[in-house]
Amino acid sequence: MELDPQHVINLLFTAVGALGGWVLNNLRQSINNLLAQDAALTEKVQKIEVLVVGDYVKRTEMDSLGAAIFAKLDRIENKLDKKADK
């Protein structure tokens, strides 16, 4: 059986088409994997954002902390003034 040029061209197109289909299928699978990983990472980042926002100091807590610090500083200042008077 002798191969004429048309059969060779048909075989080449078939081989190139099969190889191209395989490459495109691998690319599609890679893109789908990357999309799944991106979705998982986005969910993790959103959970971290919620966690961080939930741990902010409340204004009332900060006000009471500031008042306690200033009260302590006032006592230290009074003690220093009593020492300086002696």
Q: Where are the domains of the chain?
A: 1-55, 57-86
Q: What is the pLDDT of residues 45-71, one digit of tens each?
A: 888 877 666 677 788 889 999 999 999
Q: Residue 8 is encoded by which pair of tokens?
A: 């060779």
Give the length of the chain.
86
How much is the pLDDT for 36? 97
Q: Is 62 helix (H, G, I), strand (E, B) or coil?
A: helix
Averaged pLDDT score across all residues of the chain: 90
pTM over the 0.75 mark = no
**What is the chain's percent helix, strand, coil content, to nearest 5?**
90, 0, 10
Q: How far apart are CA 30 and CA 55, in angstroms?
A: 38
Measured distance between the N- and C-terminal CA atoms of the chain, rounded to whole angstroms = 122
pLDDT > 70? residue 1:
no
